[in-house]
Structure 1
Amino acid sequence: MNNKIVLAGNKNLLKPAITQILAMHQLLEQIEVDATSSINEDFDPGRRYHPLIILHFREDSDFRPGTNQPKGRGQNRTKGEVSFRLMSETTETISEAELTNLGTRIKQIFGANGGYLWSKGKEMYCYADWSRGYQMQILARSEAQVRDLVTKILSLQNHTPQWKYLTKNKNASEAERYPVVPQTKLVMGKQVELPERRPNRQVRFRYAEARINPLLKTVILFDRTGKKTNALVK
């Protein structure tokens, strides 16, 4: 069976449709990709030659009072990623000095006050401004949280959000599809707690990296935890 969907027409007109298809695919397949600029690069192959910036977040603790704790607590913390591309730069033009400047801005905006907190949730939002390198799918608890996160991400490049590019993808029965109370399943005579779909968790900014070219190692721009000793910005 051919799993490809063929779309024809003006590329700029197709971009919003592709964003919606990607979000719908996540809904159907239950793929919890939080926020990413990864796209079908066969459709727009030029994007792969622009540096990819990734901001990493992680929950402080996975301790849940009154619930069954998994083995190796601390290894099951909720994570999050936000990424975008530097469309003003290519793998050939980007310099270490420019990456250091970006790392400094990330430290100022996301590293301050103990690290930026992103309240992840069950609502899926998409912010798609392809020409400026943004194609983000963000799980959150409210639109206000998404607007704050998007505004801070865009400020790293002195960009101003254009909210016409923000959409919300809603399931017809979100409470049933993504229940707040953990569900259980009978396994070998015991009730086993199932993984929570789109959990309401706060994830804190940890570090940022730049992927310049598959032939080069990932460049760590800034690490709030101090564990990555090779970060450009301390």
Structure 2
Amino acid sequence: MKKYIALFIFTLIIDLTSQANEFNDLKIYTENNPPYVLVNEKNEISGLVGEKVVKALKKLKIENEVKIEVVPWARALIEAKKQKNVMIFPFVKTKERLGIFNFAILAYKQTLNFYKLRDAKGIEVHNLEDAKKYTTCVVRNDYRHEHLLQANFSKIEETAQQTQNVQKFLNKRCELIIIAEEGLKAKLKELYSNMSIVEKVLEVPEFDGNIYIAFSPGSDSFIINKFKEVTEK
């Protein structure tokens, strides 16, 4: 009996080591984007989606095998497009991305809205065509940017990062911003403000605002299936 127990434990250790090795080539990219991903001064990841990824890594026994890299979103997209076995989060579906990435895991459900500053005068938005009349703040290469381009918006004010994007909106350098309520609340809090200064003018169900954990083209099915398995429990 002791021999069988020892053999079982040895086999289990070999299996876990083998599984960890399967993830050696995996790269993970994210950005500091509250409330979905929060990165503290120790580079520790938390947030509505970040915690799910961290828990998945722990369940798969690979938390020390893979480093989550916090990089500018434009760089993350470029790297993910040209390499296999790249996980990227928080990520949202667009027409362009659907043909490239594997949106394996739905991590958080939400809707997108257009907002204006409450004290802004003369802004009337009842549909997407109305919204096109006004300048809209977006993050360059962000999914909302892609949504607007696909819908033929031309009055777009770009920034490189979401906090700067919201600050630009608050400074009245654009007339509208497109963002989920959860995201806007978090950014306003970060900027020592709150939702009382903004007004929702249009909900946009036409644009998929749900948050996913996605994988780059050609990523190994073993990696994708293992992450799906531990995040869907």
TM-score range, shorter chain: under 0.3
Relative contact order (alpha carbons < 8 A, sep ≥ 6): 1 or 2 greater?
2
Structure number with bigger Rg = 2
- Given the two structures, how large is their TM-score scaled by the length of structure 1? 0.24
